Structure 1
Amino acid sequence: MEKVLEFGSSRVKPDVRRLSDMREVIYDIEWLKGAPDMELYYMYRDLAVSKGDRSIILDHRLRYDITVIPPNRLGAEYVKTAGHYHPFVEGTSYTYPEVYEVLRGTAHYLLQKCEGGRITDVVMIEAKEGDKAIIPPGYGHVTINPSNRELKMANWVSRDFSSIYEPYKKCGGAAYFELADGRLIRNGRCDHIPDIRFLKPTNIAKLGLSKGKEMYGLVRDVEKLAYLNRPQDYGWLWEAALSDKNRAVR
């Protein structure tokens, strides 16, 4: 079923992610054998409320998207996104970051860093309505909807790259699977997986990422999103986002 999003004066059709697009990253292989193909989530890309906003967004090489993930189960695990990494910013040792906002529901952002072919850090951020979550350079990420409510989230990201999905497919999914019974199960196809660090959302007011204030409004203060195209200039931000001082209780 196609879901149209009303955004500003536009009616936007989604890109639809189906189960058949994600067969390689599903935990419950036995369930998958008999599962019918189904729509899992909806991606509304490159949004703008007005022509003026679109001009600003394009001039600053940015993109604003919305994703809707209805509640569902993939056999034993919660519904999730396929998972992807970002490429390097040309001429730097930094990959492109991203920032998410939960508009409705609850999200578990599962981040992982891969160095030399090994996963060296795994982070989970639980974000609720109004929370922001930054994906720092070097980290791939999966979004999980761990509830019986629809998850609606927005993101700002550079428009200068395409996401990389192959590492998640090659490894059979993320470093961990979150099951519907609450367990987090290590992915047996990945070697030497570290324990998960649980961190709080990255609501950073000086970047316009205040809890409860929709970040689309940054189109009016767009320089606060400069880190999305120039991550090499924001070492302090990545340190803050990943610090154990930002640890969540679980």
Structure 2
Amino acid sequence: MGNELDFYGNVHTPDIRMLHDMDEVVHDQAWLRSQENIELYYMYRDLSKNGSDHQKIVEHGLRYDITIIPPAMLGDEYVKTAGHYHPVVPGHDVSYAEVYQVLEGEAVYLLQKAEGDRVVDVIVCEAKAGDIALVPPGYGHITINRSDSTLKMANWVCRDFSSLYEPIKKLFGGAYYLLTAGFVKNSDYPEVPEIRFVKPMDYPEAGLFCGKDMYDIVNDIDKLDFLVNPQDHPEVFGKITAP
């Protein structure tokens, strides 16, 4: 108890990510072995202001979530999410996308594109409150809280799939770790490209703008079809995937 989230008068309890849920992906394994199983971050899924909003969200195959990540150090590494990829859309060769907005604090989004066993692109987007960060098809992603403040972020995503955690677990984390000394390549990857740093940006094609609460797109929810049918909306992803 004590971690409930009040979202427009609706109180939600979280799914809790524990430290030892993350055993495979933490950089500082010596530190990890000495630690008790503490709470790391909190995930509040399938939120809505009211029943009519929720019905509309479900009918469009979507889900709105909030994640809260208090500041912490995992040994020599900043606290982060476990990291995952998305599966491909049935009948297509394109995987599902996701979009995030920082509500409070600051986030570092690490995105990596895999082709077979190789990572061919790594993107880092550093975002502050109000900023939008898009995860395009084909990219796994990890969120890092490098600040000394609590990170609160929202996401819109298709509700009809389960995330794939194993590809990142089997390589003991993402292609890079963010340590106090900076980004360090993960030596368990056979090849790691240099990081492309991108700034948060607007996505007018999807009705998403930095500084504008992206929950409000529920009132124009067809704009989020790119999350359910990414194969039909390549125009949304071109700005971030182009080197």
TM-score after normalising by structure 2: 0.98
Q: How many residues align?
A: 243
Matched, 1:76 2:76: yes
Aligned to 2:187: 188
Q: Report the aligned-residue RMSD.
A: 1.0
Q: For the residues of structure 2 that align with 1:242 and 1:70, how far apart are their CA atoms?
A: 30
Which secondary structure does the structure 1 equivalent of 2:157 belong to? Answer: strand
Please, which runs of 5 or more residues in structure 1 have no aligned partner? 245-250
Q: For the residues of structure 1 that align with 2:235 and 2:177, how far apart are their CA atoms?
A: 30
Q: For the residues of structure 1 that align with 2:49 and 2:20, how far apart are their CA atoms?
A: 32
Aligned to 1:199: 198
Aligned to 1:143: 143
CA shift for structure 1 position 35? 1.5
Structure 1 runs of 4+ aligned residues shifted over 3 Å read none
CA shift for structure 1 position 116? 1.7
| Aligned-residue identity in percent | 52
Q: For the residues of structure 2 that align with 1:146 and 1:202, how far apart are their CA atoms?
A: 20
Q: What do residues 171-201 of structure 1 show as CA deviations (whole Å, max 9, x unaligned)?
A: 00000000123x1010011111100100111
Aligned to 1:55: 55
Q: For the residues of structure 2 that align with 1:237 and 1:243, how far apart are their CA atoms?
A: 12
CA shift for structure 1 position 84? 0.3
Q: For the residues of structure 2 that align with 1:212 and 1:170, how far apart are their CA atoms?
A: 37
Q: What do residues 22-66 of structure 1 show as CA deviations (whole Å, max 9, x unaligned)?
A: 000000011111112111000000001100000100110100000
Q: For the residues of structure 1 that align with 2:205 and 2:87, how far apart are their CA atoms?
A: 27
Aligned to 1:233: 232
CA shift for structure 1 position 123? 0.6
Q: For the residues of structure 2 that align with 1:94 and 1:243, how far apart are their CA atoms?
A: 16
The answer to whether the 8 A contact 1:73-1:180 is kept is no
AA at the equivalent of 2:214: M
Which secondary structure does the structure 2 equivalent of 1:168 belong to? Answer: helix
TM-score after normalising by structure 1: 0.95
AA at the equivalent of 1:217: D
Aligned to 1:247: none
AA at the equivalent of 2:200: P
